[in-house]
Structure formats: structure tokens, C-alpha cells
């Protein structure tokens, strides 16, 4: 892919786009539950208005990044993108299947024993390219193919997430829970899909309840993003006075959509069975301002660009009744948007 203008930071959903150019200030918020408040305090102390952020999935793991851009525009501008990639210039170096299968065996054993009620298992795929890809070009491709998703690029992590973790804007807090994934609506009707979604929705309801004075949750529905369909529940409520989007993140993440139930036991199990930490995959990604407003998606359907290599991620929620072949097929489905954006068939 070639691009005439490279944008460092991208956040786009629907008609709203924020593009940050340059890095005026780079903040390491550290680890632990206080990392969100440290990020907000650092932005306020800097005297600047807006920051883009990408936090690690595991709050005990380093690598979260907060960037205050030199300037912000509301579009990708006139960036000219030419997709010149073919199968010969981008290929899968490692499909991550064997590591995922080992993790699946351990995860199913933990579910069978009752150690956890739900756990989310991640597969990592390594893609090698002959030339370093442009995150702007990848984001541009995703904007065209993943309608309705939150398209983002922050410090090399680029993707199109369908799942809004939390929005705190104009006194309203909202969240969109997606759990239960299939290529067609009929496949979403199983008891396994129902349990997976109920656990995820309950964790979000509990996470935002203390920050709203009212909470509205319409009936569960089915939403489609690209070729993928999800069971979905949207929450919305009036924010309590003085609450910020960073406050909500500190309580809400990680939800059962990306970790499991119970949270602590599922996190411990993930640390045990996944051979390589997820880094910022499945962590909060988005933007916030000095007033404490902002939007964060869960970093899904994404990849980390490091030179000529891109690490892609795909996960799936496991409960009793999960079948390895079906779960693997789900990861294949979720990997497709980024593989297509990179030019890999």
C-alpha cells in the first residue's frame, strides 16, 4: 500500500472523524487501576485539550500509550491510497493454530471443572509484508469495508472494532455489548450463544450502573458488521455529576466480552493459557478530552504494525458447550477484515 499523507492517529465512526497529526506529548500511564486517572491528570496538566489512547488488555502489563497530537482534523483529508499489494507481497508467516488449540484444550478443561463460567481465548496470526504497511491505508480500506465499526489507529495498532466499550459525551453514557458471533442470524439462536451474551451484558450493566442516574437497555437484537453478525445489547443512561469516561473505564474494563466470568479467575486463566500477552488487543482504544468526555471501543478486528510484520488478533468467548471446530471458524471469520486490508487472501 502507498499513501501520500500518513496520519499518526485515527478515530472514525459514522460521520464523525478525528485525525491527529504529530505527537506533541506522549504519556505512559503505567499499570494498575490508577492508569486511567493518571492519563487524565497528565492531559489536564499539559494544558492541552484532547488525547488519543490505547490501553493494554491486562492492567498489570506495561505498554499502554496516550498521545496528545500537535493538531486534529475531522477527516483523512486528501490522502491518496493505492493498494498495490498482492498475495506475493503479503503472506501469513504463522497462523497461530497450534498455540490456539493447546489453549482451547486447557480452557475447556477449566470450564468443565467449573473453575470459570466463561473465558475468552485469543488467536494470534503473524503476517509478513515486503514493504512496511501504512496504517492510514489500512484504516482507509477498513472505512470502506467495515461499515458501522469504530475505525482506529493509535501507535501502530490499527483496526475496525464493532464494539463500543463506553462513550461519555454531553452528559450521556452509552455502551454497546456484542457477544455471540456467527456468519448468519440462524446460528445465533443456540443456548451457547445466549449464555455468552447474557454474561457479557451483565458485566457491562454492573460496570456502568454507579455512573448513571438512569439506565435504558432496549431488547437484545442482532447487528451486522461487514460479513459478521452479533447478538447485541445497547445501554444508555444519564451520567452522574462529575463522572468521567476514564472513571467508567476503570470499573468497566475488562468486560466478560473479552475476559470472561468471573473476571479475576478468567484473567488468571488467560495469563496461564495464552503463550504471548495480548498487549493492547482487546483493551480500550479511543480518545478523551480534558473535561473527561470521550469514546472508547474495545480494540478488536485489529493488528499491530511493527516494521514489515503485522500481528493480527481474533478471539472468541468459550462457555460449556463450546466446540473447538466452531470456535476456530469464528476466529477465521474475525480475521478476514484485516487480512483483506493487508492484501492477503
Q: What is the mean pLDDT of residues 94-98?
A: 96
Ramachandran angles phi, psi of 259, nearest 5°: -120, -70
Query: What pLDDT was estimated at residue 7?
Result: 52
* Residue with more model confidence, 87 or 259: 259
Output DSSP code: residue 211: G
Query: Residue 343, exposed/middle/buried by CB under 10 A (0-12, 13-18, 19+)?
Result: buried
How large a percentage of the chain has pLDDT more than 90?
Answer: 78
Angle between helices 97-113 and 263-273 (to 10 degrees): 140
Q: What pLDDT is stored for residue 228 in this prediction? A: 85
SS3 154: strand
- Over 60: is that where the pLDDT of 83 sits? no
Q: What is the CATH number of domain 2-83+91-342?
A: 3.60.120.10
The rounded distance, in Å, linking the Cα atoms of 59 and 250 is 10
Q: Are 137 and 303 in contact (CB under 8 A)?
A: no
By mean pLDDT, which of 96-110, 172-186, 321-335 is the weakest? 172-186
Q: What is the mean pLDDT of residues 194-216?
A: 92
Residue 75's pLDDT is: 77
Residues 55 and 35 sit within 8 Å (Cβ to Cβ): yes
Question: Side-chain half-sphere of 230: how many Cα atoms within 13 Å?
Answer: 26
Does residue 18 register a pLDDT over 70? Answer: yes
In this predicted structure, what is the pLDDT of residue 218?
Answer: 77
Q: How many CB atoms lie within 10 A of CB 328?
A: 17
Please provide the average confidence, as pLDDT, over all residues in the chain. Answer: 91
C-alpha cell at 169: 459525551
* Residue 77 binned pLDDT confidence (cut-offs 50, 70, 90): low
Residues 6+ apart with CB under 8 A from 273: 102, 103, 106, 107, 121
Predicted pLDDT of residue 84:
39
Query: Are 248 and 97 contacting, i.e. CB atoms less than 8 angstroms apart?
Result: no
Is residue 5's pLDDT more than 60? no
Q: How far apart are CA 27 and CA 163, in angstroms?
A: 25
Q: CA 259, 262, 265, 269 torsion: positive or negative?
A: negative
At residue 187, the pLDDT reads 79
Residue with cell 475476559: 259
What pLDDT score was predicted for residue 4? 34
- Are residues 101 and 132 in contact, defined by beta-carbon separation less than 8 angstroms? no
- The Cα–Cα gap between 70 and 25 comes to 8
Amino acid at each position: 500500500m502507498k499513501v501520500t499523507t500518513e496520519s499518526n492517529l485515527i478515530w472514525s465512526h459514522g460521520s464523525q472523524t478525528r485525525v491527529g497529526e504529530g505527537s506533541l506529548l506522549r504519556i505512559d500511564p503505567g499499570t494498575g487501576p490508577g492508569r486511567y486517572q493518571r492519563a487524565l491528570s497528565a492531559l489536564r496538566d499539559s494544558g492541552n485539550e484532547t488525547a488519543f489512547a490505547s490501553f493494554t488488555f491486562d492492567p498489570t502489563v506495561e505498554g499502554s500509550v496516550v498521545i496528545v497530537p500537535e493538531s486534529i482534523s475531522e477527516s483523512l483529508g486528501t490522502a491518496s491510497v493505492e493498494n498495490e499489494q498482492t498475495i506475493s507481497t503479503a503472506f501469513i508467516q504463522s497462523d497461530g493454530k497450534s498455540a490456539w488449540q493447546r489453549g482451547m484444550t486447557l480452557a475447556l478443561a477449566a470450564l468443565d471443572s467449573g473453575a470459570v463460567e466463561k473465558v475468552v481465548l485469543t488467536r494470534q496470526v503473524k503476517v509478513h509484508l515486503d514493504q512496511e504497511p501504512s496504517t492510514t491505508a489500512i484504516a482507509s480500506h477498513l472505512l470502506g469495508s467495515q461499515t458501522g465499526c469504530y475505525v482506529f489507529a493509535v501507535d501502530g495498532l490499527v483496526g475496525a472494532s464493532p464494539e463500543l466499550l463506553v462513550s461519555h459525551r454531553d452528559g450521556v453514557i452509552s455502551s454497546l455489548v456484542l457477544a455471540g458471533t456467527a456468519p448468519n442470524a440462524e446460528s445465533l439462536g443456540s443456548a451457547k450463544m445466549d449464555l455468552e451474551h447474557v454474561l457479557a451484558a451483565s458485566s457491562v450493566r454492573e460496570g456502568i450502573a454507579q455512573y448513571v442516574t438512569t439506565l435504558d437497555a432496549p431488547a437484545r437484537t442482532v447487528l451486522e458488521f461487514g460479513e459478521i453478525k452479533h447478538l447485541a445489547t445497547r445501554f444508555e443512561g444519564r451520567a452522574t455529576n462529575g463522572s468521567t469516561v476514564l472513571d467508567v473505564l476503570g470499573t468497566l474494563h475488562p468486560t466478560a466480552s473479552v475476559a470472561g466470568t468471573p473476571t479475576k479467575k478468567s484473567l488468571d486463566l488467560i495469563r496461564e493459557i495464552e503463550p504471548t500477552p495480548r498487549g493492547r488487543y482487546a483493551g480500550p482504544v479511543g480518545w478523551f478530552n480534558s473535561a473527561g468526555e470521550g469514546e472508547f471501543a474495545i480494540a478488536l478486528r485489529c493488528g499491530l504494525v511493527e516494521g514489515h510484520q503485522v500481528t493480527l488478533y481474533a478471539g472468541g468467548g468459550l462457555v460449556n458447550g463450546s466446540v473447538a471446530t466452531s470456535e476456530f471458524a469464528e476466529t477465521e471469520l474475525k480475521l478476514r477484515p484485516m487480512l483483506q486490508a493487508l492484501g492477503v487472501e
